Amino acid sequence: IARRVALGTVYYLVFLGVIARLYGGWFAAAYIVYPFLEQCVMLAGINWVWHAFLDPDDVENEFVQSITILGGTINVLNEDAHVVHHQYPGVHWSTHPKLMMQHAAAYGDKVGSVFYGTHTFEMLALILLADYDKLADRFVGRMPPNAAAELFTCGTHDKDAVARPTCPVSHDEAVELIKGRLRAIWWGPRAKHTDAKLLSKECGQAFTRAHEWDQSGAIGWETETQARDAKGLPAAAEPSPGADKPRRRKTSHAD
């Protein structure tokens, strides 16, 4: 792997040099260097933060493995409800708050990776700097009843009017919990278990519960019948037999 990484790095640098030579340094910086920093480095860091934590006692615990941010300042397409993103892959992002609250109790039971008033860039910096105290300051560990209605926004809610959600564990306990979850290892040479099931490719897939077309609207989508019932409208008329059959054009002798 190290050899392939080294060769790839050399290839990239040679390619960068050729482009800079042919089209100029500014062009190479704008179209080669910047996309690399944004698409590879920055997004890799963000993706890692979404899944930086791991329950050492239950590595498949998605409520810990994926973070949830309440009152986040950068909540793009409700990605701050990242557990829902894995629990219901494919559902429309507008349903995330509702689905998040359907499993509110599980976040508390698992002391989930729920944080308040932060964003992925800040968390990336705090984790890399090992600033566990500030991470613990933002740690909530549960899903408050008003999470979807008042806290799950792009940081636009009135923080003075809404009480900050409390944490079920103390600050010191949160620090130790965060340390343990950041240092836990699921697979690889440093993993402390030999469970073949946990090391398989299928491990971690059981958490997925539904797709947007499943459960007849139970995950946030309404069926046509449910929508009519909610509005008090009569049921749609059944199509008459043969209504969908194509009609033949009448012909005449003139044709």
- pLDDT tens for the chain, residues 1 to 255: 788 989 999 999 999 999 999 999 999 999 999 988 888 888 889 999 999 999 988 888 899 999 999 988 888 888 899 999 888 887 888 889 999 999 999 999 999 999 998 999 999 999 999 999 999 999 999 999 988 888 887 666 666 777 888 999 999 999 999 999 999 888 777 777 677 777 777 676 666 666 555 555 455 444 455 455 555 656 555 444 444 444 444 444 444
Instruction: Look at residue 209 in the predicted model and tell me its pLDDT.
Output: 65
Residues in the chain, overall count:
255
Q: Phi first, then psi: what are they for 47, rounded to 5°?
A: -60, -35
Cβ-based burial of 79 (10 A; exposed 0-12, middle 13-18, buried ≥19): middle
- Is the entire prediction scored with pTM above 0.75? no
Rounded distance between C-alpha atoms, residue 53 and residue 114, angstroms: 11
Give the pLDDT score at 28. 93
Structure-derived torsion over alpha carbons of residues 97, 98, 101, 106, reported in degrees to the nearest 10: -90
Q: What is the CA radius of gyration of the chain?
A: 26
Q: What local confidence, expressed as pLDDT, does residue 211 receive? A: 57
User: Rounded to an integer, what distance in angstroms lies between the CA atom of residue 115 and that of residue 98?
Assistant: 18
Residues 6+ apart with CB under 8 A from 235: 225, 228
Q: What pLDDT shows up at residue 86?
A: 86
Q: Which of 108, 47, 126, 54 is nearest to 79 (CA)?
A: 47
Distance (Å, rounded) from C-alpha 53 to C-alpha 36? Answer: 26
**Is 140 in a helix, a strand, or coil?**
coil
CA pair distance 170, 137, nearest whole angstrom: 10
How many CB atoms are located within 10 Å of the residue 51 CB? 15
> Cβ distance 60 to 204 under 8 Å?
yes
Helix (H, G, I), strand (E, B) or coil at 174: helix
In 3D space, the residue among 83, 71, 96 whose CA is nearest the CA of residue 151 turns out to be 71
Q: Are 59 and 42 in contact (CB under 8 A)?
A: no
Spacing of C-alpha 138 from chain mean position? 19
Tell me if 65 sits within 8 A of 53, measured CB to CB: yes
